[in-house]
Structure 1
Amino acid sequence: MASFQTIDPDKMYKSIYEFPDHMTAAIKIGESISLNKQYPDIKNVVVAGMGGSAIGGDVVRILVKNEIEIPMVVSRNYTLPHWVNNHTLVICSSYSGNTEETLAAFEDARNKGAQIVGISTGGILTERMHDLELEVVAIPSGLQPRAALAISFVPMMYLLKAIGIIGDKTVNQLMNAAALIKENRNQYSEESNGNPTYALAQRIYKTIPVIYGETESTAIVAVRWKGQLSENAKMLAYYNELPEMNHNEIVGWENNQELIHQLSVIWLKDQNDHPRTNIRQETTQKIIGDLSEHQEVVVIEGNATVERYLHMIHFGDWVSYWCAILHETDPTPVKKIDQLKKILSKKS
């Protein structure tokens, strides 16, 4: 097999390796946020975004869930929920600033009278918001959107703090999380069996991974793993969450066994999982048994939830990278997305 440097000419390796550095840089951006407007009487928050920008909203939502006291949702659509109104803070997050769904959601937010802020590197979104004298948090360009996760979610968290929706509790844990990830990234970046991310990639790269996590917890990390396996490794991957999958999907592990055997199951577990979820996971793992190619359990140790979740995301990013390398596939290009955008641009 060719060296990973040859397979990865655009250096996705570097982008993943520098995730904790991106966090540190994003913390500085967050600390420098100074708002000129007031955002009074906010009763709910909607993050409008797609892809890497949307997962940034998901990450914020799950990290601040024990601190935020109003509902926060992520909208991946052209339109926003019907209940959005002048008491809603809509954060339009688009790394490029040109995401068509987010631009449409921005107009919908205006029509619904929402209070709007943006996070972007520029593009049409920034131009429109500046024209309307709306505030935009500027973030640095130059990355693939999926590799800019830290650049998206950290300023969003600080934005919520600046508006008064959250306090210091969660943001104060970000620097420690970055330091922890730095301690592990050298091991994860080695093309060797001693690297647990490379070893896991070797076991799953010829399968279709199905990733299970707990609702409102590791299920968000599972969404990230699925997206990274699809975009970086160019592999189909799927996710679902416990306990919901125990009420339907579990029954599907029966017929088409020759196909099921091509699946691998990855269980994402955290020490804060509900005790009943732990029992469900262990029992479901036994029920599935050897129907799948194999089953993997990923657990990240650590004292703080923020550290564990972000570490697990980084772990999964490396798994997706090594799957790409094992397939001898350049992880950076997303040709089918580019093809789709080209076709859509002619149909607008």
Structure 2
Amino acid sequence: MAEEAKHLIDDKGTYSRVDPSGLRHRLRAIPDQCLAAWQSSQKLSLPGAWSSGSKVVVGGMGGSAMAGDLAADLAASKLSSASTLAPRVPILVVRDLAFPFSLDQGTIFIASSYSGNTEETIALFDQAVKAKARTIAIGSGGKLSQRARNAGVPLLHIDVSSEPRTAVAYNLMLILGVLSGLRLLDLDEDEATSAISSVSHNASVWSEDVPAVDNPAKRIALELMDNLIIVYGSGLFSGMARRWKSQFNENAKMWSFYEVLPELLHNSVEAFASPIGQPAMALILDPLTKDDVTSGAVVRKPGVDSTIHERHNRVILETLANHDIPRMVLNGDGSSPLARILNMLLLGDYVSYYLALLRGVDPSPNPSINAAKELLLGSG
């Protein structure tokens, strides 16, 4: 069965048959999109007074909100690296029709909607403008872009023709570029372009024309196949756990769940002794350790910093091992937090893509999501 699956994922005929719209080509273009987004964000001129913002809020749903999660994790990261990313203000993400806190003129609000027609994002945009918050809109058109023009709000255009979830990296680089331009995030041109260069290299390694024997993304998908996947993340990869889970849902059409350390050590571990009822795999996205990707055992390397995040990951790995729960550890690749974010983001895209092919399902369309949106419109 394993050899048959490996042949399937290396067969060019599989791609034309299962992926007729060519999602594989859109994944391969993501590094170029990151560079285009960064360059676009650098052209946006904002009032100098905005650099004194009291907080940054990103409002959106789905992939648009996901970009905000990743930006917040990146800014909050205290990893020791070449990067000096350090937040000057908190970065918050809102996924709802209303803000759970008050806005003021010191709030920088980024309304993000790929389509420009997301109900929740438009509602937040209207509230932010009314509160006189320092508002920026990100979208590809629709009602949000029109509202931004009418209100005289700065607008960044998402110049990507793809599924909204495939534009997350583009959206992320727009947000980071805005915050960098306002000096609310220490991220310069060299670090951004170096990170993009890193993910561009890995995209060539993970692409469909590289056989499974030399392709880590394909090998990971082969190991995860036929499992219920529970994704764990911490620190820099807290939001990334949600991202991987959602990509398993949307691309591979698989059930998957995610949790974040250290919270799960205070509740979820109590269930480890109970049978799950189907094959399962715990997938740990660990930004700190130097573990090799492994299944069923943890291979530690010397020289790992003893940090609080490393201790959390060590505890969850030992707990999983004590209950004989299969597990796999994945590390980001890159010399900076941004490089690790972008590489892990694209790796998740490719792994979920290959899982879709192994399952024989077209990864591009999301009929259930579209049906749910139609129901929402009909119940309004």
Q: Please, what TM-score do these two structures have when normalized by structure 1?
A: 0.92
Question: What's the Cα RMSD here?
Answer: 2.1
Identify the match of residue 163 of structure 2 among 139, 144, 149: 144
Q: Is 1:107 matched with 2:132?
A: no
Cα distance 1:200–1:346, how it changes in 2: closer, same or farther (>3 A)?
same
Q: Could you tell me which of 263, 285, 310 is aligned with 2:317?
A: 285
Q: 1:344 corresponds to which residue? A: 376
Aligned pairs, number: 344
Could you tell me which amino acid in structure 2 is paired with residue 129 of structure 1? Answer: A
Q: Which moved more, 1:147-156 or 1:332-341?
A: 147-156
The alignment status of 1:120 with 2:131, answered yes or no, reads no
Comparing 169-178 with 205-214, greater Cα deviation is found at: 169-178
Distance 1:68 1:35 in 2: 19
Aligned partner of 1:271 among 288, 297, 301: 288
Q: SS where residue 270 of structure 1 aligns?
A: coil
Q: Distance in 2 between matches of 1:274 and 1:149?
A: 32
Structure 2 counterparts to residues 303-342 of structure 1, below 5 A: 303-342=335-374
Kept in 1, the 8 Å contact 2:30–2:170? The answer is: no
2: distance between equivalents of 1:29 and 1:196?
32
The equivalent residue for 1:80 is 99
Query: Within 1, Cα distance between the matches of 2:116 and 2:320?
Result: 44
Q: 2:21 aligned to 6, 10, 18, which one?
A: 10
Superposition deviation, residue 205 in structure 1? 2.2
Q: 1:157, 1:171 within 8 Å by CA — same for their partners in 2?
A: no
Q: Distance in 2 between matches of 1:269 and 1:158?
A: 26
61-70 vs 7-16, which moves further: 61-70
1:182 alignment partner in structure 2: 200
Q: Which stretch shows the higher mean deviation, 200-209 or 294-303?
A: 294-303
Aligned residues of 2:198 and 2:334 also touching (Cα < 8 A): no
Q: Which amino acid aligns with 2:340?
A: R
Partner of 1:194: 214
User: What are the Cα deviations for residues 269-290 of structure 1, in whole angstroms up to 9, with x where unaligned?
Assistant: 1237862332332232232227
CA 1:170 to 1:243, structure 2 compared with 1: closer, same or farther past 3 Å? farther
Q: Are residues 253 and 163 of structure 1, via their aligned partners in 2, closer, same or farther at CA, if it must alter by over 3 Å? A: same
The alpha carbon displacement at 1:61 in A equals 1.8
- Give the Cα–Cα distance (whole angstroms) in 1 for the partners of residues 200 and 166 of structure 2: 16
- Which runs of 5 or more structure 2 residues have no equivalent in the other structure? 1-7, 77-84, 290-304
CA distance in 1, matches of 2:51, 2:265: 42
Instruction: Provide the C-alpha distance between the structure 1 equivalents of 2:319 and 2:47, rounded to a whole number of angstroms.
Output: 57
In structure 2, relative to structure 1, the CA distance for the partners of 1:171 and 1:237 (3 Å cut) is: farther
Q: Is the 8 A contact 1:201 1:320 kept in 2?
A: yes
Q: Is the 8 A contact 2:54 2:107 kept in 1?
A: yes
Is the contact between residue 63 and residue 170 of structure 1 (CA under 8 Å) also seen in structure 2?
no
How has the CA–CA distance of structure 1 residues 337 and 16 changed in structure 2, closer, same or farther, with 3 Å as cutoff?
A: same
Distance 1:110 1:334 in 2: 32
What are the superposed Cα offsets for residues 215-259 of structure 1, whole Å, 9 maximum, x if unpaired?
Answer: x4211211111111111001111111111111111111122x152
Q: Which amino acid aligns with 1:174?
A: A
Structure 1: state its 5+ residue gaps: none
How high is the sequence identity, in percent, across the aligned residues? 28
Which stretch shifts more, 154-163 or 271-280?
A: 271-280
CA drift of 1:130 comes to 0.8
Alpha-carbon separation, structure 2, partners of 1:258 and 1:27? 44
**If the length of structure 2 is used for normalisation, what is the TM-score?**
0.85
**SS of structure 1 residue aligned to 2:101:** coil
1:274/1:58 CA distance change after superposition, 3 Å: farther
1:286-301 alignment to 2 at 5 Å? Answer: 286-289=318-321, 291=323, 294-301=326-333
Matched, 1:24 2:35: yes
